[in-house]
Structure 1
């Protein structure tokens, strides 16, 4: 199985450095262009299905990819972003050094990793021998890349909007 993990296109909150979590943010014009450019890069290959996080920005990106690639897409809760709760909308830089946030975040990272590995197992069992695009979020891709890639970008930060990584299982 081959899985292509695509980070959704840019939103205004990405530009502002805000935590989006489960907030229903839409792609901005740049994000729409990024999703189209991503589709163009993936167009030379045959894909069987697109699976999208249930969050608005991912669904919008999946719809653009689906239209361009003529591949159906479905929504799955599997590869969703962390829900930052009361921290949704906060600027990341304002939370640096906040001990309450840091403690909470370290617990949430462990939870999201456990969820990601379970969802990855489900995906690989359900779509064996298929080529699937998963439209998801930077943090999700960062955790996947950290686990699977020898040349991980995780020390350099989160993958850019509209970018992707491929994993073969």
Structure 2
């Protein structure tokens, strides 16, 4: 069987990550630490001589700027794919995890309970988000069967890819961390997905923040 491998990279840190402010589709750039993390991540890939065939990135700036460090070091060009964006968090976007329970108590309660049909007033439900990420991942896999794909995306999106690869239920509580600028590995053997390694951060000089966007 032919195996297709994915190295999944979460974007570097942003000021909103540091403030525990929910980003979703809000287009926030990397902060100074995030830019440094992107460089450290790219050099780590160079150090292990990762031979990847194609690079994909979400179109949001925090992911695209993280991918830029790879582009520069490997002299390649990323394919931008808006389907790799974070989940749209509707009315919760822009609120911190302290503000959200005060300003949107009912919405927050529904959100943290992982109600998969909750659209968060103008956002995406977990089910809609899962469908989007699953479709994007499958389209990329089919296009590059037997290849190694490097993909830069977001914490919630990578958590969803973990769920797909591990067959974890959408309703289930988050099982893994997805730190900023971490390396995460999944593969598909033509029949099934598999998680090969997750949340690698040994290449980072400082501790990285976990994702908030569920």
Structure 1 window deviating more from structure 2 (25-34 vs 77-86): it is: 77-86
The residue number in structure 2 matching 1:99 is 106
Q: 1:154 to 1:86 in 2, by over 3 A?
A: closer
- Determine whether 1:32 maps to 2:30: no
Q: Does 2:114 match 1:109?
A: no
| Paired position in structure 1 for 2:175 | 155
The aligned counterpart of 2:22 is 19
For residues 112-134 of structure 1, what are the alpha-carbon distances to aligned partners after superposition, in whole Å with 9 as ceiling and x for unaligned?
Answer: 11111111110111112221111
> Per-residue displacement from partner, 1:90-109 (whole Å, max 9, x unpaired)?
00233348222343663211
Write the distance in 2 (CA, Å) between the matches of 1:20 and 1:12. 10
Aligned length in residues: 166
**Do the aligned partners of 1:47 and 1:71 also contact (CA within 8 Å) in 2?**
no
- Residues 97-106 or 125-134, more deviating: 97-106
Distance (Å, rounded) in 1 between the aligned partners of 2:141 and 2:53: 13
Give 1:56's match in structure 2, choosing from 51, 54, 61.
61
Question: RMSD of aligned C-alpha atoms?
Answer: 2.1
What is the SS of the residue equivalent to 2:98?
helix
Aligned counterpart, 1:82: 87
What residue is the counterpart of 2:145 in the other structure? 128
Is the aligned partner of 1:139 residue 2:156?
Answer: yes
When residues 102 and 114 of structure 1 are mapped into structure 2, their CA distance, relative to the original with a 3 A threshold, is: farther
Which of 29, 44, 51 lines up with 1:46 in the alignment? 51
Where structure 1 has 5 or more consecutive residues not aligned to the other structure, the ranges are: none
Instruction: Name the structure where helix makes up a greater proportion of residues.
Output: 1
Contact 1:145 / 1:154 at 8 angstroms: preserved in 2? no
TM-score by length of 2: 0.71
Q: Which has the larger radius of gyration?
A: 2
Spell out, residue by residue over 1:25-81, the C-alpha distance to the aligned partner (whole angstroms, 9 max, x if none).
Answer: 110111011111111121111111211111111111111111112232110012111
TM-score, structure 1 normalization:
0.89
* Aligned counterparts of 1:134 and 1:102: Cα–Cα separation in 2: 32
3-state secondary structure, aligned to 1:78: helix
